[in-house]
Amino acid sequence: MSEYDLVVSSFHLEQLEDNLFQSRSPAIGWRRTYGGLLLAHATEAARRTVGPGKIFHSLHASFLRPGNTSESMMISVERLLDGRTIVHRRLTITQLGKPVFTGSVSFRALGDGLSFAPAMPDVAAPEDLPDEAQLLSTYCDRLPESALKYMSRLKVFEVRPVDPEQYLFAPGCHGSQMAAWFRLRSDSVPEADFSPALLAYLSDMPVLNASLIPHNRNFFDPELSMASLDHALWQHCEPDWSDWLLATHESLATEASMGLGQVRFYNRNRVLTATVSQQGFIRLQQYNN
């Protein structure tokens, strides 16, 4: 099975009680549970307790401990609110009796109202940009081992950076922003019910890297160790998983070994699809010793 199939299969949570679910990490070689998988499983558990007529709205989460990929995860759901407009759930994921994740997920009714969103920047179309195989061929002699392994893996989402040099090497000063296109690595459109979980999964991929932009570094830097702490996701419209999404990355602040980044996702029609903010540890090895 592909990595995409393994991850999406893991969204089929086992329901033990009305408000209790069990899940596992897919066997794809992670050293610890990917934070996006925790976000996805929590979102799916919350969705399973919500009736029809509501769509995914937001997710707010804290990562408490590293997840163990060899142990099952217990997901408890607390039904805080079942309103006409908003449904709110609180979730805790535990392993071996200890919490590794806590968060809240909300759903909303469809409706009309005031509308505004920041404009999508003008960037090259994904078809005009090199794919990861082409990037590997071009830059293989300059990339560290971690980057070679990461880019060689057929991940759930394909990535096409708008500025490959900036994405891979962070040379010079590029201000505090960058952009990349993301697309599901699948020929079939996923089940509609799994759309919120997929968005939650994707939302953990690019955000913390955004906080490194002003420092001319990226997540391939061997001098860095990083871990997500706090995460927030808002969905503005439902993603079109049959096409590319543009992620615009922005660094908001770095201080005291912590970085805060924000990402906006736009669809092909330049419509703002989701906004993500995340803070995490960013530690240089010289400060770890």
Q: What is the span of the domain harbouring residue 17? A: 1-109
What pLDDT, on a 0 to 100 scale, did the predictor assign at position 27? 85
Tens-digit pLDDT profile for residues 253-283: 988 889 999 999 999 999 999 999 999 988 8
Tens-digit pLDDT profile for residues 143-164: 888 788 888 889 999 999 999 8
What pLDDT, on a 0 to 100 scale, did the predictor assign at position 99? 97
Query: CA torsion sign, 249 to 207 to 278 to 218?
Result: negative
Structural domain includes residue 177: yes
Indicate whether 168 and 272 sit together in one domain.
yes
Nearest to 247 by CA among 123, 115, 116, 63: 123
Inform me whether the pLDDT recorded for 245 exceeds 80. Answer: yes
Q: Which helix (H) or strand (E) holds 74?
A: strand 73-82
Indicate whether 289 and 252 sit together in one domain.
yes
State how far the Cα of 83 lies from the Cα of 86, in Å rounded to an integer: 5
Structural domain includes residue 120: no
